[in-house]
Amino acid sequence: MSISSSLERNPDLDSWLQIHKDGTLTLFTGKVEIGQGIKTALALIAAEELDVAFERITVKTADTALGLNEIFTAGSGSMEESGSAIRQVTAEIRELLLQMAAKRLNLPVERLSVTDGLIGAAETNSTITYWELFGGQKFNRKFNGEAKPKKADQYQQIGRPVSLIGIESLVGGTADYIQDMKFPDLAYGRIIRPPQYHAELSRVDTAEVSALPGVLKIVQDGRFLAVIAEREEQAIRAASALKESAEWNFVKELDCTDISELLVQNKRTSLLVVNGIPIDDPIPTIAIPSAAVRTSTASYQRPYQMHGSIGPSTALALFSEAENNPVVLTVWTHSQGVFPLRVSLAHALDMNPEQIRVVHKQGAGCYGHNGADDVALDAALLARAIPGRPVLLTWMREDEHCWEPYGPAMLIKLQASVDAQGQILSWNHDVFSDSHIRRPRPVEGHSGLLASWHRATPLPPPEKKPNRAPHGGIHRNSDPLYKFPQKRIVKHLVEDLPLRTSALRTLGAFANIFAIESFMDELAAEAEIDALEFRIRHLEDKRAIAVLEAAAEKAGWGTPLKIEGMGRGIAFSQYKNLKCYAAVVMTVAVDEYGNIQLKHAVIAADAGQIVDADGLINQLEGGLIQAASWTLKEEVRYQAEGILSQDWESYPILTFEEVPEIETVLINRPDEPYLGSGEATSGPTAAAISNAVFNAIGVRLRRLPFTMEEVQKTVSEL
């Protein structure tokens, strides 16, 4: 069994687990809880390997003071990284404790067993608990890999239902989020942003606002403008007054040329992608095989889309005035990477990273790089202005919608040639996009944090460079899992595009899978072959075939829908070609006006060994719902003067009543490694909806989102 990358970076056993004298255990992870249920899954893994009750375990998430650096919670990697590490660590700790107990009880290790932390042998009355044996102590040793974790047939807890950690507070409405944090002498901040990216502050009247009730300080540094007040409503009122008094000079307008044109016209860096990895080999010209009887082309578009966090980005910061305190700045944040954020904050503030502590506190889930990191620097700048007082800073809805890094617009051009039997001979995939990976990182003279760009002495964003990681950024899932004799895949990183972008759930995979799986349907229809059969003909991966067949069987694939305007579509992928397999079958109804209603969805998924079935289902279904919202509704709209999508009316998302009935089938592989699942259903959902619409009304939708207007426009062009 290979060692988890997280464990290689953090080999000290004490950094992962503490046993307390009161019979409880604290499990540590460098990952963060953002609604995906990772705390529950990790606690269940530890409980299983240690043979203790799940309820005994408390999970503490990312905090730089704990030293457990697992970098980012991203890319559906938490179970593979933290989950595997905890499985290996707790197996080794159990073996160590058994060895200690054997000496205390004067019994061979082989005769000992553990029941909820109680160690003993069946033929004796001699017992000792973990907490009696080791409560409050330190292991003071590193992981050596000598102990073997349990096999699946030995499990007593994994596979059984458990309550999601924190579910009582979520259901009862008492959950404590970062926005709810309270400190003695807490002050409140608000930011006044420029009207758009390229606006410079020419004048602002601070004197009158400074005299408003409760105002403690106005902070101005270049075009970074903020207010601190005793109460939150006072900060909001003062920020509104400052905004009214501010005058701005528009240095440059946003380019409002159709984004699909900019993506192919602008300067770009192009790289050939082979087996999911960009390489520097020459990009071959597109060649049509001699045996081809038909060559088809199609283009698919995704607009800019936002994270749309229901709760706006928030951070709490405190600059300490205490002498000889090694930690000068403490920041509480819902960032998905507290260690990278600490380094980026230190760089932006000209501090030593060791002077900064960054603590994760759960906020509204976003699954990607939203404003959580930016607001942390905002709060730090305000806290530095009033040392000794904590400052809670929350973005307003307009700030969140207009200033978060968006998911990039994308254009995918596909071409395929097939033979007389309908078999694909060649496949060509060109994907055009902006960068998907712009999380903060310190680069000399640059910063990835928003406020750094607005200060009097700015640190501009780092230069964009093509991501060359396997299935990273733009090219994620651009390489189909299907087996084609000839494949040509090219990624194009396009420059000088109008809006700020970074990581949004799945990165490039959402649009790439949407395009691939929609095109596969088109090719199947042209060949007059059933869409499921067509996919299976081009697959060798048995696990991929299994999820397709499971979803099709559950959905009643092949049985006709007898209601006019209803259709059924299928799509599948393996996220990054190495994580969870997922197939989606969607049933839709399309009315005479072009409105699409989602009626029923089936998911079939293979995420390797299942630890927490309910948590896995939540992840898969949550991904489907978010992707359905992207597919039907979401698009960031803008004009030369700035962003138009400033609220939920101008940026609508899927409502509760629009969510379809969802059925989920899980394929458990108990002898296989954990496979990340959080992003597995996103791409297949968009394609399944598109394919279902074609099945319903004979119209191919290739530009997201599928609004009523888009459907009508596509029909009119037939």
* Residue 491 is assigned to a structural domain of this protein: yes
Mean pLDDT of 42-62: 97
Supply 557's token pair.
Answer: 């694939």
Residue 142 to residue 160: CA distance in whole angstroms: 31
Picking from 10, 24, 138, the residue whose alpha carbon sits closest to that of residue 85 is 10
Q: Per-residue pLDDT tens for 638-669?
A: 999 999 999 999 999 999 999 999 999 999 99
* Residue 443 is assigned to a structural domain of this protein: no
Cβ-contact 439, 413 below 8 angstroms? no
pLDDT at 322: 74
Whether the per-residue pLDDT at 321 is higher than 90: the answer is: no
- Whether 55 and 99 share a structural domain: yes
- Whether 153 and 183 share a structural domain: no
Contacts of 674 (CB under 8 A, 6+ apart): 79, 80, 83, 84, 607, 608, 609, 611
* Residue 100 is assigned to a structural domain of this protein: yes
Mean pLDDT of 326-341: 96
Residue 518 to residue 616: CA distance in whole angstroms: 26
Q: Which domain holds residue 508?
A: 266-304+407-437+472-716
* Residue 455 is assigned to a structural domain of this protein: no
How large is the greatest C-alpha to C-alpha distance in the chain, in angstroms? 85
* Residue 44 is assigned to a structural domain of this protein: yes
pLDDT at 427: 98
pLDDT at 2: 83
Whether the per-residue pLDDT at 628 is higher than 80: the answer is: yes
**How many Cβ atoms from other residues are within 10 Å of residue 657's Cβ?**
5
Mean pLDDT of 677-682: 97
Residue 357, judged by CB atoms within 10 A of its CB (0-12, 13-18, 19+), counts as buried
Percent of the chain whose predicted confidence (pLDDT) is above 90:
94
Mean pLDDT of 543-554: 98
Length of the chain: 718
Cβ-contact 687, 513 below 8 angstroms? yes
Residue after which a domain boundary falls, among 172, 200, 232: 172
Average pLDDT, the chain: 96
- Whether 571 and 659 share a structural domain: yes
* Residue 690 is assigned to a structural domain of this protein: yes
Whether the per-residue pLDDT at 272 is higher than 90: the answer is: yes
Residue after which a domain boundary falls, among 394, 424, 449: 394
Provide DSSP, 88-112. HHHHHHHHHHHHHHHHHHT--GGG-
Provide DSSP, 157-200. STTS--PPTTHHHHHHT----GGG---TT-EEEEEE--SSTTEE
- Whether 243 and 270 share a structural domain: no
Mean pLDDT of 263-292: 97
Supply 3's token pair.
Answer: 């060692």
Please report which confidence band the pLDDT of residue 253 belongs to, taking 50, 70 and 90 as the band edges: very high
Please report which confidence band the pLDDT of residue 125 belongs to, taking 50, 70 and 90 as the band edges: confident
* Domains of the chain: total: 3
- Whether 299 and 317 share a structural domain: no
Whether the per-residue pLDDT at 21 is higher than 70: the answer is: yes
Whether the per-residue pLDDT at 323 is higher than 80: the answer is: no
Mean pLDDT of 395-405: 97
Residue 317 to residue 391: CA distance in whole angstroms: 5
- Whether 244 and 279 share a structural domain: no
- Whether 100 and 193 share a structural domain: no
pLDDT at 124: 84
CATH code, domain carrying 201: 3.30.365.10
Residue after which a domain boundary falls, among 172, 201, 227: 172
- Whether 137 and 13 share a structural domain: yes
Q: Per-residue pLDDT tens for 669-678?
A: 999 999 999 9
User: What pairs with residue 192 in β-bridges?
Assistant: 225
Burial letters for 52-74: b for 16+ Cβ neighbours within 10 Å, e otherwise? bebebbebebbbbebebbbbbbb
Whether the per-residue pLDDT at 208 is higher than 70: the answer is: yes
- Whether 130 and 192 share a structural domain: no
Q: Per-residue pLDDT tens for 569-615?
A: 999 999 999 999 999 999 999 999 999 999 999 999 999 999 999 99
Whether the per-residue pLDDT at 70 is higher than 80: the answer is: yes
* Residue 445 is assigned to a structural domain of this protein: no
Cβ-contact 154, 133 below 8 angstroms? no
Residue 336 to residue 51: CA distance in whole angstroms: 31
Contacts of 146 (CB under 8 A, 6+ apart): 92, 95
Whether the per-residue pLDDT at 314 is higher than 90: the answer is: yes
Whether the per-residue pLDDT at 326 is higher than 90: the answer is: no
Supply 66's token pair.
Answer: 């704990």
Residue 500 to residue 305: CA distance in whole angstroms: 11
Whether the per-residue pLDDT at 411 is higher than 70: the answer is: yes
Mean pLDDT of 44-50: 98
Mean pLDDT of 469-490: 97
- Whether 349 and 319 share a structural domain: yes
Contacts of 464 (CB under 8 A, 6+ apart): 434, 435, 438, 493, 495
Mean pLDDT of 504-526: 98
pLDDT at 1: 66
- Whether 329 and 367 share a structural domain: yes
Please report which confidence band the pLDDT of residue 35 belongs to, taking 50, 70 and 90 as the band edges: confident
Please report which confidence band the pLDDT of residue 301 belongs to, taking 50, 70 and 90 as the band edges: very high
Percent of the chain whose predicted confidence (pLDDT) is above 70:
100
| Full 3-state SS string of 618-668 | HHHHHHHHHHHHHHHCCCCCEECCEECCCCCCCCCCCCHHHCCEEEEEECC
* Residue 549 is assigned to a structural domain of this protein: yes
Whether the per-residue pLDDT at 133 is higher than 80: the answer is: yes
- Whether 296 and 271 share a structural domain: yes
